[in-house]
Amino acid sequence: MLTNIRIHEIESKNGDYLRLLNLSNSIDYDLSEHFLQQNIHSKPICRFQFPYNTIIRAGQTITVK
């Protein structure tokens, strides 16, 4: 479970990207095979799956476009 990963920022005009933040100061997380999904009225409209070997380092952000 990725308890230390949070949405840090969403581009406000068009929603073209979002940034995830690793809140941990010491633990890197492998995001491989995890996904982000946008739902509207409980129906999925967009899904992004992280590629293999996508690592978010301790205290760092990662941008999804």
DSSP string, 37-48: EEEETTEEEEEE
**What is the per-residue pLDDT across 51-60, written as a single tens digit (0 to 9) for each?**
999 999 999 9
Q: Which residue has the higher pLDDT, 2 or 25?
A: 25
> What does the pLDDT read at residue 34?
96
Total number of domains constituting the chain: 1
> What does the pLDDT read at residue 14?
81
Look up the domain containing 38 and give its range: 5-64
Candidates 45, 58, 64; CA nearest to 7 is 64
**What is the per-residue pLDDT across 5-51, written as a single tens digit (0 to 9) for each?**
999 999 878 878 999 999 999 999 999 999 999 899 999 999 999 99
pTM as predicted = 0.84
